[in-house]
Structure 1
Amino acid sequence: MNLEFYKNQAVLKQKEHKKFLETLKKRPPKNLDYIVQDTHDQVFSKIDCLQCANCCKTTGPLFTEKDIERIAKHLRMKSADFEQKFLRTDEDNDKVLQNLPCWFLNSDNTCSIYEVRPKACREFPHTDRKKIYQINHLTIKNTVICPAVFEFVEKIQKNL
């Protein structure tokens, strides 16, 4: 997978994509949620995250208190110890990873805590959610990080 190609394409098409997503917000088609789910399924039938893992290499998830408790328990650690070893508080007062790539990313792009991974990781890249126009800013940001999101926006744009 050529990440550099996707990133460049996403940057080049950012204005076009923003404009398109804004039209979805202003006038969402009646069957948008269906189209979104169908397009998400099509894109992920062709793109394998294990070939990429750019999200795990370049952007850290937000950790909720439930995430911290669940993962710490899985690792047989106290929550406070888990936080001290792996997390920091960012400028928005969110708990995030101290370093990237993600500590839990294995060399084969699998996740060592996949079954208990943070909610943010489970939901990424958010291309299967209802009322997707509510997260246009995030979708645009994610086109630069995730080739699947770029393909998703391109495909939806062609189909509408």
Structure 2
Amino acid sequence: MKYQEDLDIAKENKADNKRLKKQMRRTPERKLDERFHAEHEKAFQDIDCLECANCCKTTSPIFRDIDIKRLSKRFRMKPIQFIDEYLRVDEEEDYVLKSSPCPFLFDDNTCSVYEDRPAACKEYPHTDRKKMFQIIDLTLKNTEICPAASRIVEAMRGI
């Protein structure tokens, strides 16, 4: 994979993330958000998700009721049929995909349901939202899946 080096760096630095998490939690909320958003913009100037799609290949988004309704309508299915065919309930009682890679992912890394994809897919890797302090653990976890998240977090070291 083109971005494997970024994922390798995330794995190498995983042990240091405990310290980084403490630094982030001590950073004023607004400053943390501003820094994350700036690094998000920088990372996505160089990274093309279509060259990677590791998130679609290895993990599942959470499907909210509104996502299920939208996608079942697209497939002309009842929501329960969509759930039965594609989803399962995980240990946190959320709907997630039964399998990976995502069944809606084409071989060229494009998404067959892009216009109707779940909100979690639209927002991934969640590094440009407000109140980043609330999702630091998720962000650190995402560094091992998303090369952009890895770059963003690496740039945050020494905040």
CA distance in 2, matches of 1:90, 1:24: 29
CA distance in 1, matches of 2:51, 2:38: 22
CA contact (8 A) 1:71 1:117 kept: yes
- The letter for the 2-side match of 1:110 is T
| CA distance 1:55–1:30, shift in 2 (3 Å) | closer
Instruction: Report the aligned-residue RMSD.
Output: 1.6
The equivalent residue for 2:89 is 89
TM-score by length of structure 1 reads 0.91
Between Structure 1 and Structure 2, how many residues are aligned?
159
Secondary structure class of the residue paired with 1:129: coil
CA contact (8 A) 1:67 1:117 kept: yes
Q: Does 1:100 align with 2:100?
A: yes
- The letter for the 2-side match of 1:67 is D
Offset, 1:30: 4.8
Offset, 1:99: 0.8
CA contact (8 A) 1:33 1:131 kept: yes
- The letter for the 1-side match of 2:111 is C
Q: Does 1:42 align with 2:35?
A: no
- The letter for the 1-side match of 2:101 is P
- The letter for the 1-side match of 2:13 is K
Secondary structure class of the residue paired with 2:96: strand
5+ residue gaps, structure 2 = none
- The letter for the 1-side match of 2:18 is K
Secondary structure class of the residue paired with 2:63: coil
Larger deviation, residues 145-154 vs 20-29: 20-29
5+ residue gaps, structure 1 = none
CA contact (8 A) 2:29 2:131 kept: no
CA distance in 2, matches of 1:93, 1:32: 30
Offset, 1:29: 6.6
The equivalent residue for 1:27 is 27
Offset, 1:112: 0.6
TM-score by length of structure 2 reads 0.92
CA contact (8 A) 1:63 1:94 kept: yes
